[in-house]
Structures are given as C-alpha cells and as structure tokens.
Amino acid sequence: MAGSGKSVKSLEILQYVVLISFILYFGRMLFIPLAFGMLISFVLFPVSNWLISKRFPAILAFGMPVVVVFLFLVFVLFLLVNQILEFTREWTSLRSKLFEAIENVSGLVAQNFNYSAASQKVFLQNLLDQSGGKALAFLQSMVSSLSEGIFTVIMVPVFAILILVYHKLLSQTLYSLFPADKRESIRQVLIETIKSYYDFVKGMALVYLSVGILNSIGLAIIGIPHPVLFGFLASVLTFIPYVGIMAASLLPISVAWVTYDSVWYALYVIIVFGIVQVLEAYILFPYIVSNRLKINTLGIFIAIILGGIFWGASGMILFIPMISILKLMADKTEKLKSVSIFLGEG
C-alpha cells in the first residue's frame, strides 16, 4: 500500500509538470511580455517608491521610469538599424573584395583538388536550387518572429506600468490565496523576489561591462580602429539574442577588411567575438549571475536550457530569475526542501 501511495504521488507530480509545461509553451505569447514586464516593474519599484516619496504624482512615478527604460531599448534598436545602414554603405567596396576572395578560393580549389571552376559553378547552382525551396519557409518564420517581437516590445512597457500601478491589489490577491499564518512568509518571499530580480539586473550589467572590456581588448590587440566603440557597441547589442552580435560584428568586420585589404583581419574579428561570446555564455554569465542569485551553476544551466525549449531566446533570459523565485519559495517550504538543496550552493 505504501508503494502504491508513492507511485500515485509521483504520478500526480508528473501530471503537474506536464500541465505546467503545456501552459508555459502554448501561452508564451502572453507569458513572455508579462514576465519581462514583471522583471522591469520589480527592478523599477524602488525608483517609483522614491519618486512617490518626493511627492510625484502616482501615474508619473510609475510611468516615467518605465518610459526611460523603454527609450533605452529603442536606442539599442536604433544602434542595430544604424549598424545595418553603415554596412550597406560599405557594400560597394566590400562586394568587389568579396568577389575577389571567392575567385581566389575557386582558383585554389581548382589548383589543389583538380575541381574546375565550371564544375564549382554547377555545384553552387544546384546548392542554390535546393535551398530555394526552403527560402519561403525561412522568410515566413522571420515574419512570424518579427511580429511576435513587435507585440512583445509593445506589451512589455504596458504590463510593467500596470503591474506598478496595481501592485497593492496584486499583493492583496496573492496574500488572499494563502492562510493567514502563511502571509508573513509570502510577504518575505515577495520582498526577497524583488531584491533577487534587482540583483539579477546588476549581474547582467556586470556581464555586459565585462563583455565590452574583453571585446575592446581583443579588437585593440588585432589593430582594429576604434576598438572601444566597436567593443561596447557589440556588448550592448548582445542583449538582442543571436541577431545583436551578428549585426554588431558587421561594421568592425567591414572596417577591418577595408583598412587592411585582407580577409584575415575580418576573420580575426569573428574569432575575437566568438571567443568572448563563449566566455560570456559559459563562464561570465553563469558565474556572475548565479553568484548574485545564490544559485549553483548547474541550476543556471538547467534554467537556460529549459527557457530555450519553452520560450526560445527570451526564455533563456527570463527563466534565470524565475528559478531564483523557485529557490526562494523552496527555502520557505518544507515540502520543497530537496529543491532548495539542489539549487543551493551547498
């Protein structure tokens, strides 16, 4: 009978895990902007409280910090677009260099592997024909991702302002879900959650500062002009997953190519950014952020992977503070003690 009871309990846990996973995955259009809005509102809550203490109107105290953060994100987007425009201005000179490099590579292949230029042309044409059928699906995926991104950008500041405006109502609703003797513990968890989110943002700022410094040092070593500008620009744009670092690398790559008239310096830029990205993903980010959140590196990696599975690139950012909330709740709950031990620092 005892074994049967344990199996039923395990089955219930599995059902809850499946249900929560189902809700998280299919509700990502709501939960991603809501989670970003909550993250921003928690970080800006002390600022709003300070503005209220200085007798600012409530709507201004809650709305102005969010607007400032939103304008900062718009500025980052402007930098991204500006990078693309700068690259297009360099395209005329780069195109001739690109064709020259392709011809050189084609000549080396023909000379060393006895594979004629005509055969290479036929191979490339067949490759383009095969990939052409996938181009429409790729474009549809890009349009879908762009529309989701625009929706998220619009809704994040809206959710952040509404959460700040209705924070007392939301707190009372949360307290009402628990017995009276548990409400003080819930209040402490809520306070520690806000502090945890704030520490997470500070950790992220330290990571981006470190990435900017490493980028600048690497670019300076290989002799790229304006290394600090390009290094910190790439660091800021790293906030936009995947696309940001690609766009940020275009300008220094083109400058390196035009300045030194050699494809090798463009490859050196790619190598520098690649090494820094590996350091950021596997050393700086887990070590700095996990230390501030008091979560071990294994827990951080699990959060990143699960976030990527459920919510893509956004989830890789959002699941880290979420797992810190889980850790805070586990610290206060006897039934979740094993989770607290697993996520803790030992």
Which pLDDT belongs to residue 194?
A: 77
Of 285, 184, 268, 187, the C-alpha closest to 224 is 268
User: Which tens digits make up the pLDDT trace of 285-322?
Assistant: 777 776 666 778 788 788 888 888 888 877 877 888 78
Segment among 134-138, 180-184, 207-211, 250-254 with least mean pLDDT: 134-138
Which pLDDT belongs to residue 29?
A: 87
pLDDT at 111 over 80: no
User: Which tens digits make up the pLDDT trace of 151-179?
Assistant: 888 888 899 889 988 888 888 888 887 77
Of 247, 196, 244, 253, the C-alpha closest to 222 is 253
Q: What is the mean pLDDT of residues 206-213?
A: 87
Which pLDDT belongs to residue 218?
A: 92
Dihedral sign computed on CA atoms, order 343, 239, 149, 243 = negative
pLDDT at 86 over 70: no
Q: How far is CA 284 from the centre of its chain?
A: 14
Radius of gyration of the chain (CA): 25
Q: What is the mean pLDDT of residues 69-82?
A: 76
Which pLDDT belongs to residue 145?
A: 65
Tell me the domain boundaries of the chain.
26-131+149-343
User: Which tens digits make up the pLDDT trace of 264-274?
Assistant: 888 888 899 88
What's this model's pTM, rounded to 2 decimal places?
0.68
Determine how many CB atoms are found less than 10 A away from the CB of residue 44.
24
Distance between CA 216 and CA 212 in Å, rounded?
Answer: 6
- Helix 183-221 with 167-176: angle, nearest 10 deg: 130
